[in-house]
Amino acid sequence: MDGAVEAASDFFKLPSEIKEEFASEDIRQPVRYHTSSKDGISLSRALLKLYAHPLSDWM
Beta bridge partners of residue 32, listed in sequence order: 49
Instruction: Quote the number of domains for the chain.
Output: 1
Strand ranges in the chain using DSSP code E only, listed in sequence order: 31-36, 45-50
Would you state the pLDDT for residue 29?
83
Would you state the pLDDT for residue 40?
61
How many whole angstroms separate alpha carbon 19 and alpha carbon 33?
Answer: 7
Residues of the chain where predicted confidence (pLDDT) is lower than 50: none
> Contact 12/46 with Cβ under 8 angstroms?
yes
Would you state the pLDDT for residue 28?
83
* Domain that residue 22 falls in: 2-57
Say if pTM beats, i.e. exceeds, 0.75. Answer: no
How many whole angstroms separate alpha carbon 11 and alpha carbon 54?
Answer: 22
